[in-house]
Structure 1
């Protein structure tokens, strides 16, 4: 992977016009380099990513539109447009759009690690058991379903 490339990734598209469909959510990569990976998500009501851990990456969310319910280190909280969520490596977290409106958010991780490769592999996959297995091989560890309660 190379250094960060200068330039602008336009609104509504991904870097190099890439879009991934991960369990029905649109993911748009915005910036990719060795030290940082940024991507936008568009989550409809009911969309979520279950509680998981990144053992080797810090993760951040900037909510751009709408709101997300987050389970962060076992505690429920809500992030609204303009809020930044900080999720240090090793801390369990998950996000859920429990509202009746779509949510658009910018996520980024540092360092990039294997997350971009994971998203490329998960694109269009629907088998949740296989997704969990592949995620673990890419340093994303999902917790048991009761962690989402």
Structure 2
């Protein structure tokens, strides 16, 4: 990675820290620290059949770009399929989720603005490694989410799991 006082930022393939969230990876590419907190970029490699817990952000917008695979997305009451080269906007204040709808691993590029939410992924990755039980993980995840103005929408999870044969992140 190259950074300089003039703001040049170059991230080469394979650079950046990463964490695993039980079927969804987070490859940290551009942090808010590097963009004066205006935006952050992460890549999400994802196992087939995995569902991100449905949620709503109150503080940031997200734009996903499909790099590999096929993804299902739900934003509000709308459901769509997104293949390679597709952009998906997930506005703040609107519940959303996504899942790998294909039979192969997939990968998304996620632009988040304003920056800051990338730190949630970092903390969640540490929590996933240190929680002593599923109950402890859920309780600590809820506390963490509250600090990022993030709320989960559990009603959707069972419906989407049944309809598409999915597993939530971390489920065996």
Structure 2: gaps spanning 5 or more residues: 129-136, 160-172
Offset of 1:24 from its aligned partner? Answer: 3.6
Offset of 1:4 from its aligned partner? Answer: 9.4
Q: 1:40-71, CA deviations, whole angstroms, 9 ceiling, x for partnerless residues?
A: 01001122212111111111100001011011
Structure 1: gaps spanning 5 or more residues: none
The structure-2 alpha-carbon separation of the partners of 1:5 and 1:52, relative to structure 1 and needing over 3 Å to count, comes to farther
Q: Of 60, 63, 66, which aligns to 2:66?
A: 63
Normalised TM-score (structure 1)? 0.85
Let me know the Cα RMSD of the aligned residues.
Answer: 1.9
- Measured in 2, the distance between the counterparts of 1:69 and 1:75 equals 11
Between 1:60-69 and 1:41-50, the stretch displaced more is 41-50
Partner of 1:147: 156
Q: 1:3-23, CA deviations, whole angstroms, 9 ceiling, x for partnerless residues?
A: 994232222332xxx112223
Between 1:3-12 and 1:129-138, the stretch displaced more is 3-12
**Hey, which of these two has a bigger chunk of helix by percent?**
2
Asked if the contact 1:72/1:92 (under 8 Å) is kept, the reply is: yes
Partner secondary structure for residue 144 of structure 2:
helix
Offset of 1:129 from its aligned partner? Answer: 3.9
The structure-2 alpha-carbon separation of the partners of 1:100 and 1:55, relative to structure 1 and needing over 3 Å to count, comes to same
- Measured in 1, the distance between the counterparts of 2:124 and 2:39 equals 20
Aligned residue pair count? 142
* Higher gyration radius (CA): 2
Asked if the contact 1:74/1:147 (under 8 Å) is kept, the reply is: no
Runs of 4+ aligned structure 1 residues displaced above 6 Å come to none
Partner of 1:27: 26
Between 1:29-38 and 1:119-128, the stretch displaced more is 119-128
